[in-house]
Amino acid sequence: MATTYPLPKFHFKVSFGDTEFNCTEVSGLDFEREVIEYRAGADAEYHKGKQPGLSKYSNITLKRGTFAGKGREFYEKWVKTVYFQEEGEKYRGDLVISLLNESHEPVVSWKAINAYITKIQATDFKADGNEIAIETAEFVHEKLTMIE
């Protein structure tokens, strides 16, 4: 009988439209349903009923290493489209994060619909540090779904 193991979290890929990213970290893949509390005036019981409300999603944060001379699409392309809206609605797209198996195939994927970058952060600098330089991009989106 074959034994199954949980998937490791270090083997994943990220794509936004037709661009794939090498990232060191992805966070913010969570769903939340707000609760609506309600009590009708004619209810005989003295408590509130609870109903499901609107869905809420966190912003998705991508972190990756800073490279000299390449990988500048955060700054050169998206800053222009998001902040200056030079390309109209083209700055929105679907952000797909896929957890991969040993064959580099997606096993579980999350799709953030109509996502766009809302924040870009360059690395911090420390004279006494020995870590790699990490840049961060934060995406907002309208809906998060799981796809297989």
For position 59, what pLDDT does the model report?
A: 96
For position 98, what pLDDT does the model report?
A: 95
For position 140, what pLDDT does the model report?
A: 93
Percent share of the chain, pLDDT over 90: 43
For position 112, what pLDDT does the model report?
A: 96
Q: Cβ(17)–Cβ(81) under 8 Å? A: no
Closest of 57, 58, 73, 69 to residue 23, by C-alpha: 73
Beta-ladder partners of 109: 98, 147
Rounded mean pLDDT, 47-72: 86
What would the pLDDT profile of 102-139 be if each residue is shown by its tens digit? 899 999 999 999 998 888 888 889 999 899 999 898 99
Alpha-carbon distance of 25 to 38, in angstroms, equals 40
**In which residue are the tokens 């005989």 written?**
44
pTM: 0.81
Alpha-carbon distance of 142 to 94, in angstroms, equals 10
Least confidently predicted of 28-32, 49-53, 68-72: 68-72
Alpha-carbon distance of 3 to 17, in angstroms, equals 36
Instruction: Sketch out the chain's domains with CATH numbers.
Output: 12-147 (2.30.110.20)
pLDDT band at 22 (very low <50, low <70, confident <90, very high): confident
